[in-house]
Amino acid sequence: MRVRYVCGITWISALAVTTGAAAPAPKKARPPAVQPVAAPAAVDPQKIWPASLERIAGRFVYAQVASPGGLWATFTPPNEQGEITRQVSLWDAPAELRDKLRQAEIVISGLKKPGKIEASERVSPSKRGLMRFYSETAEGTLTLRNIPGIGGAHNDAGEHQGPVVFELEHQAHSNPSVFGIQQIRDQQEPTWGVGALDYADLRASAPATADDPEGPPPVIGNARVLRGGLEIICYVDWTQQDGTRERRYRGSIRLRKVAERPEGGAALPKVAP
């Protein structure tokens, strides 16, 4: 700004001043404060899967052939070339198999604590809900009778008495699609019946030994525990030799826990002999 006096009058004029100096650099904005990464929320295993090994410990006995589903017989009729498979009732099965299944039994006892439990959940790839996972391992004692095929090996007798390592494993989606549910039912209900949805796989293996570090074949490899913990659906696979022909019976049976009263309900009905 320049000030001058002309004839007693004060004149003020503003001058634009340009210099060769560079304009001051703008101040750099402060980087945002680093927010601490929140630790994943603790997952209560009981909310993922309530029917833990401790919860299901006890005695389970035959209740019925699992339904919908049932037993399926595969055989080659006389004078025909190919096999056929058809659904059969328990009373259509040979007496030997029928008597076995009606006396089927699982007893889970002597669990050693603490076992190992892991539970987690994460957002599904579709962002529609949560993928949920539960697994549990514990040592205990298993009594298994009259469930041929439950071990998964060919000609498995379904018999065991002694120490085992139990495993439970559950995987599920918090918001499954209608199509996904229908597809699972179409694929699995013929074999597993009510055990096609909302279950945990139950496995049991005899402990490994120094002579057999890998351990024997699974004692239980094909069984499912339902969420309430009062039912076990067991796979059945039994073959009858009829001369040069075979009849193979496959499907699943439903075992119910005895001597226990469901929450808020009446005692479980007695199972017919």
Stronger pLDDT, 93 or 7, i.e. the higher one: 93
CB atoms < 10 A from the CB of 195, how many?
A: 24
Return phi, psi of residue 10, to 5°: -90, 125
- Taking the C-alpha atoms of residue 21 and residue 220, their distance in angstroms, rounded to an integer, is 86
Q: 39 or 183: which carries more pLDDT confidence? A: 183
**Residue, of 187 and 209, whose pLDDT is higher:** 187
Q: Which residue has the tokens 């669990």?
A: 111
> According to the model, what pLDDT value does residue 212 have?
76
Q: What is the pLDDT of residue 128?
A: 86
* Residue whose tokens read 């391992």: 137
pLDDT at 254: 96
Name the least confident of 6-10, 126-130, 255-259. 6-10
Residue 245 CB contacts under 8 Å (≥ 6 apart), including other chains? 75, 76
Percent of the chain with pLDDT over 70: 79
Compute how many other C-beta atoms are within 10 angstroms of the C-beta atom of residue 153: 14
Q: What is the pTM of this model?
A: 0.78
pLDDT of residue 26: 60
DSSP state of 258: -
pLDDT given at position 76: 81
Q: What pLDDT does 245 receive?
A: 80
Distance from the first to the final alpha carbon of the chain: 113
Q: Round to whole Å and give the CA distance between 193 and 180.
A: 17
Q: Are 150 and 175 in contact (CB under 8 A)?
A: no
Q: Select the more confidently predicted residue: 207 or 45.
A: 45
φ/ψ (deg, to 5) at 236: -125, 135
Task: Compute the average pLDDT of residues 141-158.
Answer: 93
Confidence of residue 5 (pLDDT cuts 50, 70, 90): very low
**C-beta of residue 110 within 8 angstroms of C-beta of residue 98:** no
The vertex-103 CA angle with 102 and 105, nearest 5°, equals 120
| Nearest partner of 202 among 43, 47, 49, judged by Cα | 49
Range with the poorest average pLDDT among 47-51, 82-86, 180-184 = 82-86
Question: What value does the mean pLDDT take over residues 131-157?
Answer: 94
Q: Which of 177, 176, 197, 175 minimizes the C-alpha distance to 186?
A: 197
pLDDT digits (tens, 9 = 90+) for 247-270: 899 999 999 999 755 555 545 555
Pair of tokens at residue 88: 């059969």
At residue 48, the pLDDT reads 95
What percentage of the chain has pLDDT greater than the value 90? 55
Whole-number pLDDT of residue 113: 86
Average pLDDT over residues 94-114: 94
Q: Give how far Cα 106 sits from Cα of 103, 138, 147, 162, 223, Å.
A: 10, 17, 9, 12, 11
CA distance 220 to 23: 81
